[in-house]
Chains A and B, each alone.
Chain A
């Protein structure tokens, strides 16, 4: 995803360790929530996202476990696997 883009969270990857999954859940990364990529840190990592009304900093390695579907003007038919994460 690019800076400024908005997406709907589909879930957290099933092969994600339980501790990380819990942490993300506790911070509000839940299915159906809307997520916006705010900006990247100077070296591109971590990434700042806006979700449920607040700002979160997440490392890219952890952000990649969040599966999303981009919101576009037209419905998305097929989104490739890599586009489905926060890359």
Chain B
């Protein structure tokens, strides 16, 4: 029945990841549990010639299945039947950690306790009777300091001894007190007689869950035994009413309180506390960091620094050695793909179609994705370090109230800022990925859907070109307006979404403000690498496929004889679509040339400029060389500032670029939301562009 696997379970911030990393070393797999974006990491523990799979469950405070993480942790244990649970317990916070331990004990799976952060506990004046605790729990308890590799051998030895049956580690039976215990026993007897349930659940655990009014357990029972569920659930309801009448209190609260009672009892008999009344670092830091005035100021500074450094290190500073000097990481990627592109130049004459496919479709597509990689890597690195330090929780604390007005929450701000919310530059891709720190599904979804409205780096060249052509004397003012407009749109869109499609109560926001600690470099790097690699792998394949489709649309069909690039473009499917859309797009002032550029911009917004250049038959128009296009447009009689502004608004708001769409699909877990993001933002953009164009035209 059991799978031979070891799972690691524990509270968030108890040092689970440290222990997992120490046990499994470097090689590991990250997988997503179906349907949700909670990562399940698994690796191999090698110890004295033996190998065992170790799975790191998401950190949870409980197993009541109210949050994504809890549900994943609980289902994993139920589905996979692990042979052993290593429960990481924060020794400096024993009582609350034991609350989860007790719930794990209820599942009646052999368990080993890693009593972690022993150093912090000692510093805080706690003395723990490890042997006594082990006796009470009925399982081995091993003191560890996982982040400093202390106690790892002992944990490995104890775990393998239990796995091979050399040591017993069966959790002690638990008592919920007179009156409740009897009901548990009689329900357990009924459950034991139903094979379908007995196979999946520990009967006593399921009995307790039913008394707790666990809706999830009830649903599963209905699915597993439709015939016998009614009788069983009725019996559970009767038991609940008996208990509630007897104690005059809610049954689920009673069970939870009994668990705390057991935990408190254990703490009382095993822990002695020699008072150390000195304020710890966390409390002193929070006096400033969470202060009403200093707090927001520090926040702005931290965010500005994050933003500044990420773009400096990944994009602006040339520090990667290259043949003729130094390159920035992003520049390095671009150079790499440029040289690839040069490498295949000989094909241009002999096989023009293959060349175009390879150059524009494959290299352009993959190169576009890869040029984001340095940015994403460093963004994750800084965010992971901030997360690890405990600061992100404070950010959420400070900003929760103002953002809640719009149906968002404290942590949403991080995504906006990373996506370019401070003004120039930024990128929605790492922005959307940063929403992983949000535990509340609906808040997270809305944040993902509105983050692309921020002014990312790719929109900048388009703005720059149009501003240079039509607003040469009001550069700053126009940029400010565009910046404000992006925020207003994002907040209003969030407000509307929260009242229409993503309706529903906001999740309870009960969040621990964990103690600060120095980020552990190894953990942060590993975390960053996992995330970055996942991006490369998943986004890369999708982007490549869609990019090839876009390429084909702009390449086929070929005109009969050789014509100039602009005529060829007009003849292609994309060109025809551009012309077909003209009657509609005229409302916002866009002609067919602009339409083709905007179609190309679905791949990436930078493309708008290049395609516009081709459509106006200009050679070598790229983002470094937009001046000729700018001058060209400024002289065109059918272009004017109003039309240019409407176009900028449209480019700001319409469909997120392909990479962003792929990431929304990945992070939201469904194509539905990715598609929705594309459609609703394009609609939003079109309506606003029409409004600006029509009203603007009246004013001129």
Q: Identify the A interface with B (CB < 8 A).
A: 11-12, 14, 18-28, 30-31, 38-46, 48, 52-59, 62
Contact = CB atoms under 8 A, between A and B. Distances in A.
Contact of A42 (B252, B296, B508): B296
Main SS class of interface, B: helix
A42 to B, nearest CB: 5
A26 B439 CA distance: 15
28 contacts: A19-B66, A21-B252, A25-B252, A25-B257, A26-B61, A26-B99, A27-B510, A41-B295, A41-B397, A42-B295, A43-B401, A46-B401, A48-B286, A48-B397, A48-B513, A52-B93, A53-B92, A54-B96, A54-B514, A55-B282, A56-B512, A57-B393, A57-B509, A57-B513, A58-B509, A58-B511, A59-B404, A59-B508
Given A25-B252, A54-B512, 8 more contacts: A21-B250, A22-B252, A25-B253, A41-B397, A41-B401, A57-B400, A58-B511, A59-B400
B95 interface: yes
A52 B264 CA distance: 10
Nearest to A44: B401
Contacts of B250: 14, 21
Nearest to A30: B260
Contacts of B150: none
B256 interface: yes
Contact of A41 (B252, B400, B508, B510): B400
B61 to A, nearest CB: 5
B253 A21 contact: yes
Given A22-B252, A24-B510, A54-B512, A42 B398 contact: yes
B554 interface: no
Contact of A46 (B252, B292, B296, B509): B509
B62 interface: yes
Most chain-B Cβ atoms within 10 A of its Cβ — which of A23, A25, A30, A53?
Answer: A25
Contacts of B393: 57
Given A27-B61, A28-B99, A46-B397, A12 B253 contact: yes
B396 interface: yes
Given A14-B250, A18-B252, A30-B260, A48 B510 contact: no
B64 interface: yes
B402 interface: yes
B245 to A, nearest CB: 15
Interface string B85-119: 00000001101100100000000000000000000
Contact of B397 (A22, A52, A57): A57
A64 to B, nearest CB: 12
Contact of A30 (B256, B290, B513): B256
Contacts of B401: 41-46
A41 B256 contact: no
A40 B397 CA distance: 9
B292 A42 contact: yes
A20 B514 CA distance: 21
Interface string B232-266: 00000000000000000010110011001000000
A55 B95 contact: no
A38 B290 CA distance: 10
A20 B510 CA distance: 9
A48 B292 CA distance: 13
Contacts of B96: 27-28, 52-54
Nearest to B282: A55
Main SS class of interface, A: mixed
A42 B404 CA distance: 14
A53 B336 CA distance: 53
B666 interface: no
A12 to B, nearest CB: 7
A43 B396 CA distance: 13
Contacts of A38: 286
A44 B280 CA distance: 25
A20 B512 contact: no
B397 A62 contact: no
Contacts of A25: 252-253, 256-257
Most chain-B Cβ atoms within 10 A of its Cβ — which of A22, A25, A26?
Answer: A26
Interface in B110-136: none
A56 B513 contact: yes
A66 to B, nearest CB: 11
B88 to A, nearest CB: 16
A80 B514 CA distance: 33
B95 A52 contact: yes
Nearest to B95: A52
Contacts of B508: 19-20, 23-24, 59, 62
B213 interface: yes
Contacts of A30: 256-257, 260
Contacts of B290: 39, 41, 48
B57 to A, nearest CB: 16
B73 to A, nearest CB: 13
Nearest to A12: B253
A25 B93 CA distance: 16
B400 A26 contact: no
Interface string B213-229: 10000000000000000
Contacts of A42: 292-293, 295-296, 398, 401
Contacts of B286: 38-39, 48, 55
Interface in B58-82: 61-62, 64, 66
Interface in B275-303: 282, 286, 290, 292-293, 295-296
Interface in B583-626: none
B630 to A, nearest CB: 44
A48 B508 CA distance: 14
Given A22-B66, A26-B62, A56 B93 contact: no
B400 A45 contact: yes
Contacts of B512: 27, 54-57
Given A56-B513, A57-B511, A31 B99 contact: no
